[in-house]
Amino acid sequence: MERIDQLLKAKIPCEETGITIKHTICDICSPSFHCGVDAYVKDGTVIKIEGTKGHPMNDGLLCTKGLSNRQYIYRKDRIRTPLKRIGKRGEGNFEPITWDEAYKICAERLLGWKEKEGADRVLFFGGYTKWFRPWLHRFAFSFGTENYATESSTCYTSGLMAWEIATGKPAKGDMAHCGVFLGWAFNPYHSRYLGGKKADEAKKRGVKFIIVDPRVTPAVEKLADIHLRPRGGTDGALALGMANILIQNGWIDKEYIDRYVHGFDAFARYAAGFHEGNLEALTGVPYEQAVEACRMIHECGPMAINESSAPLAHHRNGMQNYRAIMALSAITGNYDRVGGQQPADHTYIHQCSGFLTREKEFLEAVRPAGAKKPVGAERFPLWYALEGEAQATDMARQILEEKPYPIRALFALGLNLRMLPDTEQVVKALEKLDFFVDTDLFLTDAAKYADIVLPACSSFERGEFKTYPGGYAVYTNPVIEPLGEAKSDAQILCELAGVMGLEDDLLKSGYEDSIRYMIQDLSVTVEELKANPLPTLVPERTPYKAGGYVRQGLCTKSGKFELDSCLIKEHPEWGLDSLPTYREPLSQAGEALYPFTLCAGARIPNAIHSRLHEVPWVRSLRPYPTADIAEEDAAKLGICDGDPIEIFTDRGSIHVKAHPTARVLPGMVHMYHGYREANVNGLLNGDHLDPYSGFPAYRSSRCGIRKEGSTDEADS
Ligand SMILES: Nc1nc2c(c(=O)[nH]1)N[C@H]1C(S)=C(S)[C@@H](COP(=O)(O)OP(=O)(O)OC[C@H]3O[C@@H](n4cnc5c(=O)[nH]c(N)nc54)[C@H](O)[C@@H]3O)O[C@H]1N2
Ligand SMILES: Nc1nc2c(c(=O)[nH]1)N[C@H]1C(S)=C(S)[C@@H](COP(=O)(O)OP(=O)(O)OC[C@H]3O[C@@H](n4cnc5c(=O)[nH]c(N)nc54)[C@H](O)[C@@H]3O)O[C@H]1N2
Ligand SMILES: [Mo]
C-alpha cells in the first residue's frame, strides 16, 4: 500500500500497480472554471484525482467540490441505460430499453407533434451544464422552433443584458490592473475560489477593496477597506446615490462623458433623487459611508467592478440595479480602459477567451424562418429582443395556461425540479405535458416525471472542446469508458437528429465535426488540441486594446455608452424605463405575516445547486439544510444554534436547522437551494419576476420563521 502511495506521489504510471494518469476537466462548476484534473485510473475506474499542475486555470488546485468528483461520477443513482416510464409520473418506475427503442419513441412523439400542430409545440431545455448548448440549440432550430430555453434564464444573462443595453457587448472588470475594486456582491471564496486567489494577489499589491454585501463574508474579512451593507436588492438605490455623490463632488470624468456617454443629463437628474436625505432609509447604508466609498473610487482609480452573475440579478429590479452599478464605470471614465471594465466578445459558450469561434454562425445558419416567438417572449420582450430565445421562468405558466399557445412536449437535458421558483407549479406543468424526455447522469426527481430518461455521461467519460480566458483552447480525451450505456449529450443529440431525419448534415456528422466547423478560422486543429493534455495557446488570440471600442463607436444605437437606453425608448409598448430606475425589492403586502426577507441561494462552498447534496464527502461538511439568521432575531424568537426551525411563506414551509450568526443582517434569512428534503424554491412565488429580464427574485421574498414546536407567529 505504502508503495502505491509513493508511486502515486511520484506520478509514475506503473505496470505493477496498473495505474495510469490521464488528464480531463472537472465539470461540476460550469462554464468558466472547468479546472484541469489528473485522473488516476486503474482497471477502467478512477481511483484518485488531483488538480493538474501547469493548467492555466487551476495549476494543481481543486476545491472541495472538485475533490469530490470520484463520488460524484460514481453516485449510486447514475442512470446506466435508457429508461421508459411504466408507473405514474413522479413515481420513479421505469424499465430499461435500448437506445434504438428510445430514439424511435422520441422521434415518433416529437415529429408527431410537429406534424399535428407545428414545431413550436416542442420546447427544448438545457440545465446548468452548458457544454452541450450549441448542439441543443441547433437541434431545436433544425427541428423548426425557437423554443430553446436554458438555466441561463436565471443566471448571468441579466447582467449580460445590462451590458448589452449599455455598451452592446459583455464586459469584465480588470482586477489585475485596477487601483480600486468595487466588489459588488463579491464573495469568490465561496463561489469561485480561483477568483479568490486573484483577489488575494490584488490585495497584496495594494488594491483598495470596497465590498458591497449585506453579509459579513470571507471577502469582507480578507479584503474590505470599506464594507457597504445594503439590504438585499436595494443595490440600485445605493448605486444611484453613489452616482449622485460622484456627480455632486465633481468626481467624474466630464471629458469622457461628453465623448462617449449617452444620456448623462437625464441620468444625473434621476440620480439626484437619491441623496443624503433618503439613502440610508432606502438602503440601510449610512450616507457618510457611501461618500467615503466614492472618495476612494475617485482617489484610487482605475476602478474595476465585480461582474455578478446571480445575487444582483435575483431581485425584481435586478437588471436595472445592475445598470445603475455599471453607470458608475461610465461616469468615472473607467469603461474600456486598463484597470477598468473591459469589453470582450464571447468566444464560445459564454466564455471570453480572446479569440473568436464560429459558434454564432453554427446557430444562425439554421435559425428557422417563420417560427413562433418562443416561450416568455411576449411577457419579457426585452429579454427576447436581446437574447432571442425562450425565457424558462415562463415555461410552467405557458404549459399550464396554453397561452399564447400550448406546449405539448419537452425535451430536456439536465432539468432540475428545484431550479425554478414555485416547484408545485413546475410539477403540475411536467404532469400536464403529453411527452417529456429528460437526459441526466442521475435519476433525479425531475427525471421521474419523464416518459423517457436518457443516460448522460460525465466529463470524465467524454471528449470535450473548451476555451479559457487568456487565449486557451483544449479538447479533452475520455479517461474512462462511459458508465453502462451512458453517452455524451452531444452524441445523443447528433444521433437523434439522424434518426429523426433532420435536414442538418453538420449536426448529423457529430460533435467533433461541428467543432472542426467552429474552429475553422483558427490555425490549431482538433487533432493538435487532442494531442496536447494541457490547454493550447491559440495563435489567433488578440490582446485587449485600451479605449479601442469607445473610440471606434459602441455597438449601441447611439454608438456610445447608454445610460439612457435608445432601444428601450424606441419601444414604449414594453412599458419599461429607459433610465436605470429603482424599485423596492419587496412590496409591503404580507409584511405582518411574513416579516423576514428570504435570500435563497447565497453560495456555500460544499454545494452546487442540486448536484452535490447526494454526495457524502461534500455533504458531510454541512450535513443539514441550514438557515443563517441574525443573532438578534434568534434571541427574540428563542432560537439557538442547531435548533429545528420552520421557514414559511404563503406557498408552504420547510424544516431546517437554525444557524444564528453575526454575519447576516437582522430581518434576513439566508438559505441554500436544491435540497430534496428542504426545498426553498417551493416557498417562492413563480410570478415574483424581474419584468426586464424575466429573472426570479430568489434573493428577496417575504417569509416568516419560527422555532419548531412553537405556536407563535414570527413577529420580530
Ligand atoms: N460553491 C458554489 N459555487 C458556485 C455555485 C454554487 O452553487 N456553489 N454556483 C455557481 C453559479 S451558477 C453562480 S451564478 C455563481 C454565483 O456567484 P456569486 O455571485 O459569487 O454567488 P453568491 O454567493 O450567490 O453571491 C455573492 C455574494 O452576494 C451577496 N448578496 C446576496 N444578495 C445580495 C444583494 O441583494 N446585494 C448585494 N450587494 N449582495 C448580495 C451574498 O451575501 C454573497 O456573499 O456561483 C457559481 N459558483
Ligand atoms: N433559490 C435559488 N434558486 C436558484 C439559484 C439561486 O441562487 N437561488 N440560482 C440559479 C442559478 S444562478 C443557476 S445557474 C441555476 C442552476 O441550475 P440547475 O440547472 O438547477 O443546476 P444543477 O442542479 O447543477 O444541474 C441541473 C441538472 O443537470 C444534471 N447534469 C449534470 N451534468 C450533466 C451533463 O453533463 N448532462 C446532462 N444532461 N445533465 C447533467 C444534474 O444532475 C442536474 O440534475 O439555479 C438557479 N436557481
Ligand atoms: Mo448561476
- What residue type is assigned to position 665 of the chain? L
Q: Where are the beta strands (DSSP E) in 543-587?
A: 561-562
| Cis upstream peptide for 31 (omega within 30°) | yes
How far apart (Å, rounded) are the C-alpha atoms in residues 78 and 205?
Answer: 46
How many whole angstroms from 204 Cα to the centroid of ligand 2?
Answer: 35
Report yes or no: 418 and 681 within 8 Å, Cβ to Cβ. yes
How many whole angstroms from 608 Cα to the centroid of ligand 2?
Answer: 8
DSSP 655: E
Beta-ladder partners of 173: 341
Q: Which atom of ligand 1 is nearest to the CA of 309?
A: 14
How many whole angstroms from 609 Cα to the centroid of ligand 3?
Answer: 9
10 Å Cβ neighbour count for 505? 9
Per-residue model confidence (pLDDT) at position 87? 93
Q: Retrieve residue 128's grid coordinates.
A: 446548468
Q: Which atom of ligand 2 is nearest to the CA of 684?
A: 1
Q: For ligand 2, atom 5, name the residue with the nearest CA.
A: 601
CA–CA distances in Å: residue 386 to residues 162, 347, 362, 556: 10, 18, 18, 12
* Angle between the N-to-C axes of helices 511-518 and 133-143, in degrees from 0 to 180, rounded to the nearest 10: 100
How far apart (Å, rounded) are the C-alpha atoms in residues 300 and 293?
Answer: 10
Q: Which residues contact 574 (CB under 8 A, 6 or more apart)?
A: 381, 382, 568
Place of cell 412599458: 575
How far apart (Å, rounded) are the C-alpha atoms in residues 521 and 51?
Answer: 31
How far apart (Å, rounded) are the C-alpha atoms in residues 86 and 448?
Answer: 11
pTM of the entire structure? 0.97
Q: Retrieve residue 655's grid coordinates.
A: 424544516
* Residue to probe by mutation, ligand 1, list 155, 182, 184, 191, most atoms within 8 Å of CB: 191
- What residue type is assigned to position 1 of the chain? M
**3 state SS of 438:** strand
Q: Where are the beta strands (DSSP E) in 366-434?
A: 409-413
How many whole angstroms from 310 Cα to the centroid of ligand 1?
Answer: 6
* Residue to probe by mutation, ligand 2, list 153, 158, 187, 440, most atoms within 8 Å of CB: 440
Protein residues with C-beta less than 5 angstroms from the ion ligand 3: 155
How many whole angstroms from 118 Cα to the centroid of ligand 1?
Answer: 40
416 lines ligand 2 (CB under 6 A): yes
Report yes or no: 304 and 181 within 8 Å, Cβ to Cβ. yes
CA nearest to 249, candidates 296, 305, 182: 296
626 lines ligand 2 (CB under 6 A): no
How far apart (Å, rounded) are the C-alpha atoms in residues 54 and 314?
Answer: 36
413 lines ligand 2 (CB under 6 A): yes
How many whole angstroms from 359 Cα to the centroid of ligand 1?
Answer: 28
pLDDT along the chain (716 residues), means of 10: 51 76 93 90 96 95 95 95 97 98 98 98 96 98 98 97 98 97 97 95 98 98 98 97 98 98 98 98 98 98 94 98 98 98 96 96 97 98 98 98 98 97 98 98 98 98 96 97 98 98 98 98 98 96 96 98 98 98 92 96 94 95 97 98 97 97 97 97 97 98 92 46
Q: Which protein residues are within 6 Å of ligand 1, measured from CB?
A: 29, 155, 184-185, 187, 190-192, 212-215, 217, 230, 232-233, 235, 308-312, 599, 601-603, 605, 607-609, 699
* Residue to probe by mutation, ligand 1, list 62, 160, 190, most atoms within 8 Å of CB: 190
How far apart (Å, rounded) are the C-alpha atoms in residues 436 and 544?
Answer: 45
Q: For ligand 2, atom 21, name the residue with the nearest CA.
A: 128
CA–CA distances in Å: residue 528 to residues 55, 473, 537, 691: 17, 11, 11, 46
Report yes or no: 282 and 274 within 8 Å, Cβ to Cβ. yes
**3 state SS of 473:** strand
* Residue to probe by mutation, ligand 2, list 131, 150, 151, 312, most atoms within 8 Å of CB: 151
How many whole angstroms from 151 Cα to the centroid of ligand 2?
Answer: 7
Beta-ladder partners of 705: 647
* Residue to probe by mutation, ligand 2, list 419, 444, 459, 654, most atoms within 8 Å of CB: 419
How many whole angstroms from 28 Cα to the centroid of ligand 3?
Answer: 12
CA–CA distances in Å: residue 506 to residues 133, 498, 529: 15, 11, 21
How many whole angstroms from 386 Cα to the centroid of ligand 3?
Answer: 19
Place of cell 453607470: 327
Per-residue model confidence (pLDDT) at position 12? 61
How far apart (Å, rounded) are the C-alpha atoms in residues 49 and 22?
Answer: 10
Q: For ligand 1, atom 32, name the residue with the nearest CA.
A: 311
Q: Which ligand is nearest to the CA of 614?
A: 2
Measured CA angle at 442 (ends 21, 87), to 5 deg: 150
How many whole angstroms from 286 Cα to the centroid of ligand 1?
Answer: 24
Dihedral Cα 689, 690, 696, 697, nearest 10 deg: -90
How far apart (Å, rounded) are the C-alpha atoms in residues 277 and 272?
Answer: 11
For the beta sheet containing 36-42, the strands, ordered from the edge strand earlier in sequence to the opposite edge, are 19-25, 36-42, 45-51
**3 state SS of 115:** helix
How many whole angstroms from 346 Cα to the centroid of ligand 3?
Answer: 17
How far apart (Å, rounded) are the C-alpha atoms in residues 154 and 173?
Answer: 22
155 lines ligand 2 (CB under 6 A): yes
Per-residue model confidence (pLDDT) at position 13? 58
Q: Retrieve residue 7's grid coordinates.
A: 508511486
10 Å Cβ neighbour count for 100? 10
How far apart (Å, rounded) are the C-alpha atoms in residues 109 and 86?
Answer: 17
How many whole angstroms from 25 Cα to the centroid of ligand 1?
Answer: 23
